[in-house]
Structure 1
């Protein structure tokens, strides 16, 4: 699933490519992905993009007072084309969900540049909105603070965790608490902070809160820097190569050499290093696990 660093890189790349270009045609191929109908997608046609922003994991394409907001969910992606195929796309069972064709003075209109929004797999959770205000998107309206924003201070972070009785892994992933962190980077942050994913947030000491705050910022900023300037096709590979524990079950920890372990749930899994994070004790591989005694 694309998380904050990848969506930040997508926004930067796409913003550079769409800014100043006029929308020629918008084609929705996956009706289930379109979550709004007023204004209609056709209202984008003739508008000029002025940039692309990010709200947590949401992409925000800005054009003429409208916002084309895309949430890529687990298997969505955006593909840029310097010259789209001239033939109009045909609805079907393929991954293509949305096509936005732009005008380019150097190309005849049917062969102009543009981008596709795609979604692989059989579980379809991609979401596309066209709104006048990003806060009209329910998922954006309930977002917590952005961990890369200037206001995300240690004091603000400590206040978020105060009285929080959930396990810290779940807190980091909760978009209403912090915007943009998902399963992969929460594993990476907790490894960098040398902290068990099952530790209760409210039980963290001041030193642990400070260590976790530093790990959130450094992990995400490092990932953003690694992704900066890469072509869209290279972002997924960069994310995977930059992860130290997530998705690396059975491999040696790059810090201590211990074997990276996994806890599996019904629809996801987490990875951690026992030596770095749990005092050498493996976590029971079942839902609501606790440290083995």
Structure 2
């Protein structure tokens, strides 16, 4: 799933490609992906693109007085297209969910982007709204962890309010912190040498270590992704993850074998030596350290 660094990089890449261009049309191929009906998709036609921003895991493309807000979900992606698009497959067939076509000019005929989603579980969200605040899940986002106003003190207050809640779930909750998902929460906790099941309420020195790990991990990922095209972001992310998705490999810090915990709909990875005092975590939803 694209998380804050990848969505930030997508917005940066698209800003240079889209701002100042005019929309010819937005074709919706997978109709369940479209979550709004007023304004209609047709209202985007003929409008100039004026901005491209990101909010957590959401892309926000300002088109005239409207906004095209996109959440790529677990298996969605955006693919830039320089040439004129090929005819779409029948609705509901294949990975194509939507296609933005720009008004051609002499240098860029037929350019635009395709929104695709792999797999059978479709969660991609497309919203055409008058304001980003019209998207319910965007309206309830927690603070951006890289916002200058998000200080260590603000982070400490959030953790204290979560009490005994497991820190892995707190970091992933979009209503608590915007943009951190399964992969970067694994990376942050590994850097902080903290168990995924540690309680959110923790001593001040551990808050400081976790805050530094969060800032460092996210900022380093953004720096690596900055300037990359959309087609390069997935491989860049995967190649730089230290524990997430690396079950059975050696921890790059201590050499111990990276382990995983499997949930009903996701998995996460950790290093026992670095994070849990050498003890493996039980592989079930309500895991605790094995006695």
User: What TM-score, normalized by structure 2, do the two folds share?
Assistant: 0.97
Q: Output the CA distance in 1 between the equivalents of 2:5 and 2:217.
A: 10
1:286 Cα offset (Å): 1.3
1:123-150: CA deviations, max 9, x gaps?
A: 0000000011101101100000001111
Local SS of the residue matching 1:59: strand
Q: Residues 101-159 of structure 1: CA distance to partner in whole angstroms, max 9, x if unpaired?
A: 11232169xx4211111111100000000011101101100000001111110000001
Contact 1:145 1:179 survives alignment (8 Å)? yes
**Residue 46 of structure 1: CA displacement?**
0.7
Partners of 2:51 and 2:289 lie apart in 1 by 48
Look up the match of 2:255. 257
Q: Distance in 2 between matches of 1:179 and 1:228?
A: 19
Q: Distance in 2 between matches of 1:163 and 1:18?
A: 41
Residue in 1 aligned with 2:79?
79
Structure 1 alignment gaps of length 5 or more: none
1:8, 1:224 within 8 Å by CA — same for their partners in 2?
yes
Q: 1:138 matched to which residue of 2?
A: 136
Give me the whole-angstrom Cα distance separating, in 1, the residues matched to 2:198 and 2:144: 23
CA RMSD, aligned part only? 1.3
Equivalent residues in 2 for 1:233-248, closer than 5 Å: 233-248=231-246
What is residue 206 of structure 2 aligned with on the other side? 208
**Distance verdict in 2 for CA 1:87–1:292, change over 3 Å:** closer
**Equivalent of 1:157, from 147, 155, 163?**
155
| TM alignment of 1:61-140, pairs within 5 A | 61-85=61-85, 87=87, 90-106=90-106, 111-140=109-138
Runs of 4+ in 1 over 4 A off after TM superposition: 86-90
CA distance in 2 between counterparts of 1:229 and 1:104 reads: 24
CA deviation profile, 1:36-94 (whole Å, cap 9, x unmatched): 00000111111111121001100001111111000000000001111222646652411
1:274 corresponds in structure 2 to 272
- The answer for unaligned runs of 5 or more in structure 2 is none
| In 2, Cα distance between equivalents of 1:121 and 1:183 | 18
